[in-house]
Amino acid sequence: MKTALVTGITGQDGSFLAELLLREGYRVVGMTRRTSTDVHERIAHLVDDVEFVSGDLLDQMSVASIVDEVAPDEVYNLAAQSFVPASWRQPVLTGEFTALGVTRVLEAIRAVRPSARFYQASSSEMFGKVVEVPQTETTAFYPRSPYGVAKVYGHWITVNYRESYDLFAVSGILFNHESQRRGKEFVTRKISDGVARIKHGLTGTLALGNLDAKRDWGFAGDYVRAMWLMLQRETPEDYVIATGRTHSVRDFVRIAFETAGLGSYERYVTLDPRFVRPAEVDLLVGDASKARRELGWEPEVSFEELVELMVRADCDRVAAELARV
Ligand code: NAP
Ligand code: F7E
């Protein structure tokens, strides 16, 4: 039985990855931060199957002793401060978690478990103000936020440890991926949750920022499969994971309101400058040909199916909550 250590297991991707690894027969160990309240909502259904260890990416010793005790075959580093707007408000902390945190995990592996295979959760935000369309593994980075800058560091330190110490360390450059488990501050979930609340009469408006930004959105369940496939290869290599299709925030909003039977979004959506960013990433669209060719990876959920599944899940959830009260 293989052992996988997952940082960020309480996040959206951590929950889908843990499900996949359990299905594949792994012993799954999740690193969580100590909190005074329970924040394990996304993995509540897995608590009997996953082992938890307490640690923090800010704390080198905790990471090193966890890697030593768990003796993982594979390490998935998903933990990060992942919300882009928060990275302007807390740039130093974002750098500590999202950039230096990667070095702490790599250092731990190098020192006590060099045979472990390492996956780094890199991001399309590294492409930022894109220098070519579509973006591939060789496209130059031009990050537009402290988050994007921190992810560029995480990417290159992963490449550097692979080349310096011969570790099996890979960087998955994943474009936006969403689900019913996405945090409610990210735009897709903010929209699906807002639509559900409007549908059930809890509010009459949804305040958003830039509706013209374009993203290559996929389904998180499809994307964690790519993470796992990257660590099953013979040689460590980096991959772009994307659908190859791009849509505007406006497209997402329009389909979401239509799916809920609310008609035109224009009746409900207001523009609020508080949600506009100091520097925007206007257009992302990835070319995942290498992953298709070498990993046999294909996304299974389309953009339209994704919007629909998120809106339906939030409408059902809000209806169930209202029924309870
Ligand atoms: P998420 O839902 O925000 O989850 C982030 C996870 O990181 C949570 O489990 C969080 O724990 C943990 N964490 C944060 N700071 C930590 C620290 N100092 N020590 C230990 N754990 C810490 O993010 P996600 O959407 O699942 O994304 C997973 C990873 O992929 C992230 O690295 C993200 O930057 C990257 N990524 C995401 C996307 C996307 O579209 N989703 C695309 C490309 C890359 P708590 O529950 O305790 O807060
Ligand atoms: O914004 C626009 C906003 O916050 C998407 C993270 O997982 O994916 C994510 O980063 C777009 C931006 O995601 C609102 O300006 C308009 O252009 O959902 P988001 P993100 O910034 O693309 C990448 C790949 C990651 O790696 C990150 O960790 O939507 N937008 N109005 C809005 N965005 C938000 N959040 N809220 C709004 O009201």
Residue 148 near ligand 1, beta carbon < 6 Å: no
For residue 98, give the ligand nearest its CA: 1
Which position has the token pair 């409408």?
315
Which amino acid appears at position 46 of this protein? Answer: L
Q: How many CB atoms lie within 10 A of CB 303?
A: 21
What is the mean predicted confidence (pLDDT) over 6-28? 98
The sign of the CA dihedral 294, 297, 302, 306 is negative
Q: What is the pLDDT of residue 209?
A: 98
What is the pTM for the complete model shown? 0.98
CB–CB of 59/32 below 8 Å?
no
What is the mean predicted confidence (pLDDT) over 76-98? 98
When pLDDT is cut at 50, 70 and 90, the band that residue 281 belongs to is very high
| Rounded Cα–Cα distance for residues 196 and 190 (Å) | 10
Share of the chain above pLDDT 90, in %: 97
CB–CB of 195/155 below 8 Å?
no
| Rounded Cα–Cα distance for residues 69 and 116 (Å) | 13
Which position has the token pair 């990993």?
295
CATH number of 3-177+216-241: 3.40.50.720
Residue 193 near ligand 2, beta carbon < 6 Å: no
Residue ranges, CATH 3.40.50.720, the chain: 3-177+216-241
Q: What is the whole-number distance in angstroms between the Cα of residue 173 and the centre of ligand 1?
A: 14
Point out the ligand 1 atom lying closest to the alpha carbon of residue 125: 43
Residue nearest to atom 27 of ligand 1 (CA): 13
Task: Reply yes or no on whether the pLDDT at 259 is more than 90.
Answer: yes
Mean pLDDT, all residues of the chain: 97
Residue 277 near ligand 2, beta carbon < 6 Å: yes
Task: Reply yes or no on whether the pLDDT at 71 is more than 90.
Answer: yes
Q: What is the whole-number distance in angstroms between the Cα of residue 247 and the centre of ligand 2?
A: 13
Q: What is the whole-number distance in angstroms between the Cα of residue 78 and the centre of ligand 1?
A: 5
Residue ranges, CATH 3.90.25.10, the chain: 183-215+245-284+301-324
For residue 154, give the ligand nearest its CA: 1
Task: Reply yes or no on whether the pLDDT at 278 is more than 90.
Answer: yes
Task: Reply yes or no on whether the pLDDT at 38 is more than 80.
Answer: no
What is the mean predicted confidence (pLDDT) over 308-314? 98
State pLDDT tens for residues 232-243.
Answer: 999 999 999 999
Residue 282 near ligand 2, beta carbon < 6 Å: no
Residue 78 near ligand 2, beta carbon < 6 Å: no
Share of the chain above pLDDT 70, in %: 100
When pLDDT is cut at 50, 70 and 90, the band that residue 36 belongs to is confident
Task: Reply yes or no on whether the pLDDT at 44 is more than 80.
Answer: yes
Q: What is the whole-number distance in angstroms between the Cα of residue 4 and the centre of ligand 2?
A: 29
| Rounded Cα–Cα distance for residues 5 and 251 (Å) | 37
Helix (H, G, I), strand (E, B) or coil at 286: strand
* Distance set, CA 232 to CA 173, 278, 296 (Å): 17, 40, 12
Q: What is the whole-number distance in angstroms between the Cα of residue 275 and the centre of ligand 2?
A: 10
Q: What is the whole-number distance in angstroms between the Cα of residue 9 and the centre of ligand 1?
A: 8
Task: Reply yes or no on whether the pLDDT at 303 is more than 80.
Answer: yes
Helix (H, G, I), strand (E, B) or coil at 7: strand
Residue nearest to atom 36 of ligand 2 (CA): 187
State pLDDT tens for residues 199-231.
Answer: 999 999 999 999 999 999 999 999 999 999 999
Helix (H, G, I), strand (E, B) or coil at 15: helix
When pLDDT is cut at 50, 70 and 90, the band that residue 138 belongs to is very high
Q: What is the pLDDT of residue 76?
A: 99
Out of 30-44, 46-60, 69-83, 120-134, pick the least confident: 30-44
Residue nearest to atom 10 of ligand 2 (CA): 84
For residue 33, give the ligand nearest its CA: 1
Q: How many CB atoms lie within 10 A of CB 324?
A: 6
As given in the structure block, the two tokens for residue 16 are 């889908």
In 141-264 the beta strands, taken as DSSP E runs, fall at 169-174, 177-178, 206-208, 214-215, 218-219, 239-241, 247-248
Task: Reply yes or no on whether the pLDDT at 296 is more than 90.
Answer: yes
In the chain the beta strands, taken as DSSP E runs, fall at 3-7, 27-32, 51-54, 74-77, 117-123, 169-174, 177-178, 206-208, 214-215, 218-219, 239-241, 247-248, 269-271
Q: What is the whole-number distance in angstroms between the Cα of residue 84 and the centre of ligand 2?
A: 7
| Rounded Cα–Cα distance for residues 107 and 112 (Å) | 9
Closest C-alpha among 166, 177, 221, 222 to residue 82: 177
Which amino acid appears at position 83 of this protein? Answer: F
Task: Reply yes or no on whether the pLDDT at 154 is more than 80.
Answer: yes
When pLDDT is cut at 50, 70 and 90, the band that residue 58 belongs to is very high
| Rounded Cα–Cα distance for residues 295 and 291 (Å) | 5
The pairing of beta strand 206-208 with beta strand 269-271:
parallel
CATH class of the domain defined by 183-215+245-284+301-324: alpha beta
